[in-house]
A and B are shown apart, each in its own frame.
Chain A
């Protein structure tokens, strides 16, 4: 079958790729574009390890067909640190030891970033429910939740008193 041609912006870089109609966005990110920071845990949308931001919406890239993303803008974990400066969430995850094996970490960081873009001052409960679609088997979530709350605090501070 003829491959499909797709134009996309990933982490602000314009890219194009060819894909089969059945390929998922996750397949293409990992197997064709060498963006292996996005992880595959289940391929059924249950674990959140493959979370990316697609046109400002948090999605599981295993549930998106690659052919669907033509003309879209995608953020992956590889674009989270800017010019080697870690995102506050990344710093806080390290500080709080919020990762053990680290396989769920990219997906959780992306999901947490999407949360903090919507809600700068989430409660613990809001963080827990927002991240309920991201499975972590190592940490019991405690340090992850603390890291996200601390990052939110830090980001509010950085953005001044009017950023609420």
Chain B
């Protein structure tokens, strides 16, 4: 667990230490309240009727028998949402929650029931009579793109789609610069390959859960596990045509999200059932529902062509990216196109990307959405070129690495970035030169993520006893209360135990964007520091008042107000507590509030090294050693930065080695459970060694860069390269599960 800080930067007292997280005791004793842990008086249990067909036209839904079952209190279908608000007919988020005219994927819901207990609700589901007509379906990218393919949804196609594709190809984009043709001509070797990755699920252990209560005056309370309760409020109040102020959303503790809890699936359903029944309604998804009806990531089909000089210099690079994200439009294809070559300083580069509709569940964001798939393809081709020229793969990456001033392949020019330092740290690490045995291979990959900023506001309140409350609006998904408290304490110059950070409901603070894009420690941290600065200004003003001097003659230093210089007088410094205690007499309570649409998040790079041993008789690949190098800008709580690096890596390992959505010929998902959709377990893995680099982000007062997402990007190619080197076979499709690898080994023999 090394930490590399290349140059002397700001000195910190609390930032960079590893205090116990403030919500920790509740989470190790079972007290913490997650989505399914709240119960309300007179509460009903809700559940959904799902159709196990990939594509079907709904002819009729007869609820009369179900309604008659004692204990059933309300039943809803899409028609109820049209009564609530006619505009709902054009709402793709709602239509993903509950089908309108067509079932668009295996597991799409078409009705929901609330009853006095879950057993009654489930019995009632069986009494709903549904008539539907099966339609031709398509679940594979290549087939979906061909003219003549069954069309998932008509009228979704954008105008800029090139000719020759079916109407399932709905979105297209391209990025790049330079002259590709000239670039490819000057190369000593060109490699072009096509890569495939499967749909994989975020796999959070907590299924979606919510408890909704709507009164007949139209006011509503909603409790749910979400990465962004303000976003839940926006989506739901839009569906119900409510004022934002009338819907209070409270985020429960969240049992994992990884992007998958950035939208809604059951919240509008619970609200509608509550509105119709007059009772609070709780819905908790089953694991099968989570797999079938919440968003996995896109599956991909990517062509990459790269030209390289024998020196290792890349002369030109091109990618054609095709992502399939289920039945509704999404933006992930664009992120894939932008991130593909972001790690490199290239004179000639082009990426094109297509988004394709299929009869699969609608994709949801998954940690660095879109980047792992395209970067997997790029980093695999680079590795093959390195092998071709017998060049050191880290040397080649250092030679071509993006740096400050590089105009990225997607447009922006990079500021201070840590890629080169990260690559050099990997090169200098003992892991890189450790010996390998037979059937073992070492894989390397770079990874990139943009990092987001976004709408953020924070209130920082100084209590009369000198303690501090920080009020923020982003659910704590992995220890952020701790890092926000640390930044507040650092800025104010007080001890950490004086600060408590809480997550406000939607009526208690202004809008905060979703906990996504690795934005929280950066944006909420930035707003907290700025709010603390405003509070310090006010504290100085109060000290000036107490001392009877001009407020400009007071400065704040290490938790105390001091006279600015000899001319200001020689008063004893006043602590935050001293000033807070008498603030009632100097003008009332003291607080700082800061709101921003934060920019300057600072891109993030990582480099992963992995050693793998492949069993040539079974095709099973075992991870022997794994080291993660990542630029954190400044690690506020290094343990939780390491945690992000380790956790993202292991999700990527699962993606590379085991995980995939498996469909049968009828378009039905075959593995909607943790037994058959196998995420990594403890016995699959070694320790994951994190090496944190700190190249400060100029866009943040303490230099923070988001660290949450980058770590899932490199494992795909790093493992692909390791297995390819271990077996002497170039692989181009994930997962590298034993059957696939064994088949390739047998074919080679």
Comparing B2-10, B26-34, B346-354, the segment that makes contact with chain A is B26-34
> How many CB-defined contacts (below 8 Å) exist between A and B?
184
Q: Does A61 lie at the interface of the complex (its beta carbon under 8 Å from any beta carbon of B)? A: no
The smallest beta-carbon distance between B711 and chain A, in angstroms, is: 9
B681 and A99 contact, CB distance less than 8 A: no
B30 and A143 contact, CB distance less than 8 A: no
**CA of A96 to CA of B24 in the docked complex: distance in angstroms?**
11
The smallest beta-carbon distance between A44 and chain B, in angstroms, is: 6
Report how many residues on chain B are interfacial, defined by Cβ distance under 8 Å. Answer: 59
Residue numbers in B under 8 Å from A37 (CB-CB): 29-31
Residue in A closest to B35 when the chains form the complex, CB atoms: A103
B205 and A135 contact, CB distance less than 8 A: yes
State whether A143 and B643 are in contact (beta carbons under 8 Å apart), knowing that A99-B28, A137-B679 are contacts in the complex.
yes
Residue interface bits B628-651, CB-to-A below 8 A is 1, else 0: 000000000101101100111111
Residue interface bits A61-77, CB-to-B below 8 A is 1, else 0: 00000000000000011
Residue numbers in A under 8 Å from B254 (CB-CB): 101
B255 and A103 contact, CB distance less than 8 A: yes
Residue numbers in A under 8 Å from B287 (CB-CB): 41-44, 46-47
Q: Does A109 lie at the interface of the complex (its beta carbon under 8 Å from any beta carbon of B)? A: yes
State whether A102 and B33 are in contact (beta carbons under 8 Å apart), knowing that A40-B284, A128-B682, A132-B682 are contacts in the complex.
no
Residue in A closest to B646 when the chains form the complex, CB atoms: A140
For chain A residues 80-132, which have a beta carbon within 8 Å of chain B? 80-81, 86, 90, 93-97, 99-106, 109, 125, 127-129, 131-132
B647 and A80 contact, CB distance less than 8 A: no
Q: Does A15 lie at the interface of the complex (its beta carbon under 8 Å from any beta carbon of B)? A: no
Residue numbers in A under 8 Å from B646 (CB-CB): 139-140, 142-143
A102 and B682 contact, CB distance less than 8 A: no
B682 and A144 contact, CB distance less than 8 A: yes
Q: Does B25 lie at the interface of the complex (its beta carbon under 8 Å from any beta carbon of A)? A: yes
A135 and B679 contact, CB distance less than 8 A: yes
A22 and B25 contact, CB distance less than 8 A: no
Q: Does B36 lie at the interface of the complex (its beta carbon under 8 Å from any beta carbon of A)? A: yes
Q: Does A16 lie at the interface of the complex (its beta carbon under 8 Å from any beta carbon of B)? A: no
Residue numbers in A under 8 Å from B255 (CB-CB): 39, 101-104
B37 and A100 contact, CB distance less than 8 A: no
Residue numbers in A under 8 Å from B477 (CB-CB): 100-101
B205 and A38 contact, CB distance less than 8 A: no
Q: Does B683 lie at the interface of the complex (its beta carbon under 8 Å from any beta carbon of A)? A: yes
From the candidates B30, B258, B286, B687, name the one contacting A77 in the complex (CB within 8 A).
Answer: B30
Q: Does A58 lie at the interface of the complex (its beta carbon under 8 Å from any beta carbon of B)? A: no
A100 and B28 contact, CB distance less than 8 A: no
For chain B residues 195-241, which have a beta carbon within 8 Å of chain A? 202-207
Residue numbers in A under 8 Å from B25 (CB-CB): 86, 90, 94
B18 and A97 contact, CB distance less than 8 A: yes
Q: Does A17 lie at the interface of the complex (its beta carbon under 8 Å from any beta carbon of B)? A: no
A46 and B651 contact, CB distance less than 8 A: no
Interface centre among B25, B39, B682 (most CB of A within 10 A): B682
Q: Does B89 lie at the interface of the complex (its beta carbon under 8 Å from any beta carbon of A)? A: no
Residue in B closest to A46 when the chains form the complex, CB atoms: B674
**CA of A81 to CA of B178 in the docked complex: distance in angstroms?**
64
The smallest beta-carbon distance between B709 and chain A, in angstroms, is: 13
A78 and B29 contact, CB distance less than 8 A: yes
**CA of A133 to CA of B270 in the docked complex: distance in angstroms?**
32
Residue numbers in A under 8 Å from B329 (CB-CB): none
The smallest beta-carbon distance between B496 and chain A, in angstroms, is: 15
Q: Does A20 lie at the interface of the complex (its beta carbon under 8 Å from any beta carbon of B)? A: yes
Residue interface bits B370-393, CB-to-A below 8 A is 1, else 0: 000000000000000000000000
A135 and B674 contact, CB distance less than 8 A: yes
Residue numbers in A under 8 Å from B649 (CB-CB): 140
**CA of A142 to CA of B682 in the docked complex: distance in angstroms?**
8
State whether A141 and B682 are in contact (beta carbons under 8 Å apart), knowing that A44-B674, A109-B28 are contacts in the complex.
yes
Residue in A closest to B676 when the chains form the complex, CB atoms: A46
Q: Does B729 lie at the interface of the complex (its beta carbon under 8 Å from any beta carbon of A)? A: no
From the candidates B23, B30, B639, name the one contacting A36 in the complex (CB within 8 A).
Answer: B30
From the candidates B204, B284, B687, name the one contacting A142 in the complex (CB within 8 A).
Answer: B687
The smallest beta-carbon distance between B652 and chain A, in angstroms, is: 10
**CA of A101 to CA of B662 in the docked complex: distance in angstroms?**
28
Q: Does B119 lie at the interface of the complex (its beta carbon under 8 Å from any beta carbon of A)? A: yes
B30 and A78 contact, CB distance less than 8 A: yes
The smallest beta-carbon distance between B285 and chain A, in angstroms, is: 10
The smallest beta-carbon distance between B223 and chain A, in angstroms, is: 13
A127 and B682 contact, CB distance less than 8 A: yes
Q: Does B696 lie at the interface of the complex (its beta carbon under 8 Å from any beta carbon of A)? A: no
B253 and A102 contact, CB distance less than 8 A: yes
For chain B residues 53-94, which have a beta carbon within 8 Å of chain A? none
Q: Does A136 lie at the interface of the complex (its beta carbon under 8 Å from any beta carbon of B)? A: yes
Residue interface bits A42-63, CB-to-B below 8 A is 1, else 0: 1110110100000000000000
Residue in A closest to B254 when the chains form the complex, CB atoms: A101
Q: Does B478 lie at the interface of the complex (its beta carbon under 8 Å from any beta carbon of A)? A: yes
Interface centre among A132, A135, A138, A139 (most CB of B within 10 A): A138
Residue in B closest to A37 when the chains form the complex, CB atoms: B30
From the candidates B20, B256, B675, name the one contacting A46 in the complex (CB within 8 A).
Answer: B675
A101 and B28 contact, CB distance less than 8 A: no
Residue numbers in B under 8 Å from A133 (CB-CB): 681
State whether A100 and B207 are in contact (beta carbons under 8 Å apart), knowing that A134-B682, A139-B647 are contacts in the complex.
no
From the candidates B36, B257, B639, B675, name the one contacting A143 in the complex (CB within 8 A).
Answer: B639
Residue numbers in B under 8 Å from A76 (CB-CB): 30
Interface centre among B23, B30, B679, B681 (most CB of A within 10 A): B30
A141 and B30 contact, CB distance less than 8 A: no
**CA of A3 to CA of B207 in the docked complex: distance in angstroms?**
29
State whether A90 and B673 are in contact (beta carbons under 8 Å apart), knowing that A132-B683, A141-B650 are contacts in the complex.
no
State whether A102 and B32 are in contact (beta carbons under 8 Å apart), knowing that A39-B206, A97-B639 are contacts in the complex.
yes
Residue interface bits B135-171, CB-to-A below 8 A is 1, else 0: 0000000000000000000000000000000000000
The smallest beta-carbon distance between B658 and chain A, in angstroms, is: 13
State whether A105 and B28 are in contact (beta carbons under 8 Å apart), knowing that A44-B674, A47-B674, A100-B477 are contacts in the complex.
yes
Given contacts A43-B286, A137-B679, A143-B646, 19 further A-B contacts (CB under 8 A): A36-B37, A37-B29, A37-B30, A42-B674, A44-B673, A78-B30, A80-B29, A90-B25, A93-B28, A94-B28, A106-B30, A135-B679, A136-B205, A137-B651, A138-B478, A138-B643, A139-B650, A141-B681, A145-B687
- Interface residues of chain A, those whose CB is within 8 Å of chain B, are 20, 22, 30-31, 34-44, 46-47, 49, 76-78, 80-81, 86, 90, 93-97, 99-106, 109, 125, 127-129, 131-146
- Interface residues of chain B, those whose CB is within 8 Å of chain A, are 18, 20-21, 23-25, 27-34, 36-37, 39, 119, 202-207, 253-258, 284, 286-287, 477-479, 637, 639-640, 642-643, 646-651, 673-675, 679-685, 687-688
| 15 A-B interface contacts by CB (under 8 A) | A39-B36, A43-B286, A76-B30, A86-B28, A100-B256, A101-B204, A101-B256, A103-B34, A106-B28, A133-B681, A137-B205, A140-B651, A141-B682, A142-B688, A143-B646
